[in-house]
Amino acid sequence: MASAGAEVVQVVRGRRDRPDAATFVGSGKVDEIKRALHEQRSVIVVFDQALSATQVRNLERELSEGNSAIRVFDRTDVILDIFAQRARSHEGKLQVELARLEHLSTRLVRGWTHLERQRGSLGKTGGPGEKQIELDRRMIGEQVKKLKQRLRKVDRVHATQRAARTRSGVFRVALVGYTNAGKSTLFNRLTRAEAYVADKLFATLDTTTRRVFLGEGAEIALSDTVGFIRDLPHLLVAAFRATLQEAVQADLLLHVVDRADPQREERIEAVNSVLDEIGADGVPQLIVYNQIDRVPEVQPEAVRDSYGKILNIKVSAMTGAGVDELRSVLAELARDAALRSAA
């Protein structure tokens, strides 16, 4: 929530065998949330789950009784808000707007108390017109169509650029990983670039690609991509599919993992789930355990199996420890790939 610019004043937890169809949580939990709102003098409730439009409407109605108007947001709302704040490029803004409109189209039921009113035709004897919600849905649909057309044009430009890199024979490497794992910091270390870095979720939404010369004739094209998160909403995966093509088309994925994160194994699975969804599950991966400066007992090193195959590498993008070793590993992999293509 801090990444979205909001302050959490109280957390209400609950567990159910299955979500309540009307309010997601039971009536007792609704009363508990209502008391917390009153005590904290808050007017916003955020659910760390995806809610249906009906559940949002019902919760707002139930929680607003005796209080000022309460707004209810779900997990997708928060992620979209963060994405909107982070998008910088023209493409990123288009992708966020597309996702926002597609999400909004599922929320038209909220707040519409006049849905039975219909707009008739101009003639007095004309037939029934469209309901207001139908007009709004059609308007959103037209905007979505225009955005998709504009994104297809952008995607064609990126496809041309990727094809040029393929023809050049440059080894393509994409940084992937859970959001805030340190991908952009590592990208800057490897490329000596100045990509935007911040200790926030989804600090990078726009793919950046740079050529990196590794010495002894080795060269790679390194791409920094959007960070992943558990249960990433499907509409966001779809909207950012063009951007994520850098991962699909890569020769190697550097899967950056925060070594100091106690939930790192679950987050590795979350990233692999998204990679599977976008069709990048078949791309070779190298795990890069980052932020070892926060884990004193872990030393920078490249771990290999008994045949010399590299299994993972431990680095600190912040201090630079182990980054030279990573550059050597990438050079080795790039030269091996060049030899295979020449054979």
Whether residue 117 is predicted with pLDDT greater than 60 in this model: the reply is: no
Percent of all residues in the chain with a pLDDT value above 90, rounded to a whole number: 31
Q: What is the DSSP string of 207-225?
A: -EEEEEEEETTEEEEEEE-
Give residue 119's pLDDT band: very low, low, confident or very high (50, 70, 90): very low
Q: Which position has the higher pLDDT, 229 or 72? A: 72
Q: What is the pLDDT of residue 238?
A: 66
Distance separating alpha carbons of residues 96 and 98, to the nearest angstrom: 5
Q: What is the pLDDT of residue 122?
A: 38
User: Are the C-beta atoms of residues 162 and 232 closer than 8 Å to each other?
Assistant: no
Give residue 245's pLDDT band: very low, low, confident or very high (50, 70, 90): confident
Where in the chain are the domains? 2-73, 169-342
Q: What is the pLDDT of residue 192?
A: 79
- CATH 3.40.50.300 applies to domain 169-342: yes
Whether residue 44 is predicted with pLDDT greater than 80 in this model: the reply is: yes
Q: What is the pLDDT of residue 317?
A: 94
Poorest-pLDDT segment among 59-68, 170-179, 280-289: 59-68
- Condensed to tens digits (0 to 9), the pLDDT of residues 129-151 reads 456 667 777 888 888 888 888 87
Whether residue 66 is predicted with pLDDT greater than 70 in this model: the reply is: no
Beta-strand relationship, 44-46 and 71-73: parallel
- What does pLDDT average to over the chain? 81
pTM attached to this predicted model: 0.68
Whether residue 157 is predicted with pLDDT greater than 70 in this model: the reply is: yes
Q: Which position has the higher pLDDT, 288 or 217? A: 288
Torsion of Cα atoms, 94 then 95 then 98 then 103, to 10°: -140
* Element holding 11 (H helix, E strand): none
What is the pLDDT averaged over residues 27-33?
93
Helix, strand, or coil here: 48? Answer: coil
Q: What is the pLDDT of residue 225?
A: 81
Q: What is the pLDDT of residue 249?
A: 86
Distance separating alpha carbons of residues 313 and 110, to the nearest angstrom: 49
* Sheet strand arrangement including 301-304: 208-215, 218-224, 171-177, 252-258, 285-290, 310-314, 301-304
Contacts with 223 (C-beta within 8 Å, 6 or more apart), sequence order: 172, 173, 174, 175, 207, 208, 209, 246, 247, 250
Distance separating alpha carbons of residues 58 and 53, to the nearest angstrom: 9
Give residue 240's pLDDT band: very low, low, confident or very high (50, 70, 90): low
- Condensed to tens digits (0 to 9), the pLDDT of residues 286-342 reads 999 999 999 999 999 999 999 888 999 999 999 999 999 999 999 999 998 888 877
Q: What is the pLDDT of residue 113?
A: 43
* Angle formed by the axes of helices 27-40 and 53-64, nearest 10°: 60
Q: What is the pLDDT of residue 137?
A: 77
Give residue 155's pLDDT band: very low, low, confident or very high (50, 70, 90): confident
What is the pLDDT averaged over residues 112-127?
42
